[in-house]
Structure 1
Amino acid sequence: MTDKPILPTRVIPPGAALPTRSPEPGELPPWHAVPAPAAPPAPPTVPSGPVPYPDPPAPVEIRHVHDIALPWAGPDPEPDPPRWTRVWDWLWDHLITWRMLLAIGAALLPWAGGRSPVGVWAEVVDQARTEAGVTAAYVIAAVAVAVTWALDRRTSRTLPRFLFVTAALGGVGVLDWFDPITLVTGVRR
């Protein structure tokens, strides 16, 4: 802190005497000086003669040139087909082959003792579900699908494709409508 006295300079100028009373509403405080009236502005000076104009500018030549280049590359390219069209085309080219159609026909037609191989495999995994348990049946079906898929990917022949279709479609026999309820809630029948 300083030893100097604090003077209220924002309200009363320093060195001015304190007023004896507070100003009335609308009254200027005594320390505010009344501003002197502003002096009237000086009259404008009148030029003594005409103002000389500068020389006229030289004529300006404006050239406006358009260069039009028309690229003639042909018609607009075809827009890309939608994603589902591309997916369908890829599936059709890679999955729907004569081998796949032959494998699906052999797996679904009833030629094994009056039953299809898909039906026989579905009965096998359903019997495994009954005798060995739900988890064992799912493991058997999943391993069969994985092995036949790997064999089909490696060879791309008709017999491995037939085995894959049989394991994939017949593996549905392991499913039960109550399995999702058991999976979510843990409640068994």
Structure 2
Amino acid sequence: MLLVVPEPEPDRRPRLWERLWDWLVTWRMIAAILAALVPWAGGRSPVGIWAHTVHQARTEAGILAAYVIAGVAIAAAWALDRHTGRAVPRALLLTALLGSLGVLDWYDALTLLTGVHR
């Protein structure tokens, strides 16, 4: 009598993109994106307000101070989101991440590479 042993199924672990998709596309993330990008705060979005704030800090306090403010805001929002995982901290994280682009200037990369100022 011939005994057939079935082959074990390969251990199928989700790929990186599948895990990333599962993490990003949740109702909390969609609510956070809407809360961060929709202009509901006096006709402006929270991302736009934060971008304006860090740009003003760059203008008035200096480049380093603006980068520090933006970095601390991102770190605090990330820690809060990591600890709770709720929609409001996720919206704060998105606001801090996207709004911090307001601190950037195209000339920063040239200054960093060459040391040449305007």
Cα-to-partner distance string for 1:141-181 (whole Å, 9 max, x where unaligned): 00000000000111111111111110011001111111111
| RMSD after superposition | 2.1
Hey, what does 1:171 align to over in structure 2?
100
Q: Give 1:130's match in structure 2, choosing from 25, 47, 59.
A: 59
Hey, what does 2:77 align to over in structure 1?
148
Q: Which has the larger radius of gyration?
A: 1
Unmatched 5+ stretches in structure 1: 1-68
Q: Would you tell me which structure has more helix in proportion to its own residues?
A: 2
Hey, what does 2:19 align to over in structure 1?
90
Provide the rounded CA distance (Å) in 1 between the counterparts of 2:15 and 2:36: 28
Provide the rounded CA distance (Å) in 2 between the counterparts of 1:128 and 1:175: 11
Provide the rounded CA distance (Å) in 2 between the counterparts of 1:175 and 1:133: 12
Q: How does 1:58-77 map to 2 (within 5 A)?
A: 71-73=4-6, 77=9
Cα-to-partner distance string for 1:71-101 (whole Å, 9 max, x where unaligned): 4416x846968xxx71111111223211111
Unmatched 5+ stretches in structure 2: none
Hey, what does 1:139 align to over in structure 2?
68
TM-score by length of 2: 0.89
Provide the rounded CA distance (Å) in 1 between the counterparts of 2:97 and 2:22: 21
Paired residues in the alignment total: 118
Provide the rounded CA distance (Å) in 1 between the counterparts of 2:94 and 2:11: 37
Q: Secondary structure at the match of 1:188?
A: coil
Provide the rounded CA distance (Å) in 1 between the counterparts of 2:11 and 2:74: 39
Q: Give 2:40's match in structure 1, choosing from 93, 96, 111.
A: 111
Q: Secondary structure at the match of 2:88?
A: helix
TM-score by length of 1: 0.57
Provide the rounded CA distance (Å) in 2 between the counterparts of 1:87 and 1:128: 38
Q: How does 1:7-86 map to 2 (within 5 A)?
A: 71-73=4-6, 77=9, 86=15
Hey, what does 1:185 align to over in structure 2?
114
Q: Which of structures 1 and 2 has the larger relative contact order (alpha carbons within 8 angstroms, sep 6+)?
A: 2
* Aligned structure 1 segments of 4 or more residues deviating by more than 3 angstroms: 69-72, 76-81
